[in-house]
Amino acid sequence: MPNARSKAGIFLPALNAAMQEFGITTHVRQASFLSQLAHESGQLVYLRELWGPTPSQLRYERDFTAAWPPRGRTDRNQLPFDLGNSEAGDGGRYRGRGLIQVTGRTNYTACGNALGLDLLAKPELLEQTVNACRSAGWFWQTHGLNVLADAGDQEKVTRRINGGTNGLADRLALFVVAKRVLA
């Protein structure tokens, strides 16, 4: 992570502790984990999703003017419901935070419960170094990513984190470097 040099020393102890806590203990798991975090956080630069809101981010917000579920329509935005964003402003309030960009009321609730943090009241806690690392480890473990990393399937790892293959080439390039460095 060449862009992380100034922050690497700050994150190293917390990353090592989180990897140990969540079973990210082999070189291949660590390389996969670190490459995904590098992409998601802009190489440890962003602990909070930049908020425009962009058209894509507006999809995090529920439309309270229309009845749900839509009758016979398939064009309604399901994303806020999938994320558990049930109140006006939840999209911005529970935007991606932490090194793996935990997003949505449902994920904040589950992550907070697992880590012993009140993330619904204080979502910004995921921007603190230790919590950013632990939330990434929690997400990694609860989404079965060690198994996918062990199998060497970086595309499936990316899909579980991102929901698609956004940034796959960058993630793969970072993975190759991380494997070489950790070997």
Domain ranges of the chain: 2-47+127-182
Instruction: Please report the pLDDT score of residue 55 as a whole number.
Output: 85
Instruction: Please report the pLDDT score of residue 69 as a whole number.
Output: 54
Q: What is the pTM of this model?
A: 0.90
Instruction: Please report the pLDDT score of residue 70 as a whole number.
Output: 52
Low-confidence ranges of the chain (pLDDT < 50): 73
All residues at 6 or more sequence positions from 85 whose CB lies less than 8 Å from its CB, including other chains = 60, 61, 62, 91, 94, 104, 105
CA dist., res. 23 & res. 151, Å (int): 15
Q: What is the mean pLDDT of the chain?
A: 91
Count of CB atoms situated within 10 Å of the CB of 44: 23
Instruction: Please report the pLDDT score of residue 31 as a whole number.
Output: 98
Cβ contact 34:178 at 8 Å? yes
Instruction: Please report the pLDDT score of residue 86 as a whole number.
Output: 87
